[in-house]
Amino acid sequence: MRTPDDIARRLEAILLIVDEPQSLVALAAAVSAPVPAVRQAVEGLVADYDGETGGPRRGFELREVGGGWRLYVREELDDLVTDFVSGQAPSRLSQAALETLAVIAYKQPVTRSQVAAIRAVNVDSVVRTLVARGLITELFQDPETGAINYGTTDALLVNLGINSLDELPHISPLLDDGAEGFDSEVLR
- Under the banding of pLDDT at 50, 70 and 90, the label for residue 57 is very high
Strand order in the sheet with 110-111: 110-111, 148-152, 136-141
d(CA 134, CA 3): 42
Query: What is the number of other CB atoms lying within 10 angstroms of the CB of residue 13?
Result: 11
User: Does position 104 have pLDDT exceeding 80, yes or no?
Assistant: yes
d(CA 105, CA 93): 15
* pLDDT reported for residue 174: 55
- Specify the pTM: 0.51
User: Does position 179 have pLDDT exceeding 60, yes or no?
Assistant: no
- Rg over alpha carbons for the chain, rounded to the nearest Å, is 22
Rounded to 5°, the CA angle 172-177-182 comes to 170
d(CA 35, CA 40): 9
What size, in residues, is the chain? 188
* pLDDT reported for residue 55: 92
CB 163 within 8 A of CB 157: yes
For the ranges 18-27, 35-44, 161-170, the lowest mean pLDDT is seen at 161-170
User: Does position 176 have pLDDT exceeding 60, yes or no?
Assistant: no
pLDDT tens digits along 115-156 = 999 988 888 889 998 998 889 999 999 888 889 999 999 888
CA 113 to chain centre: 10
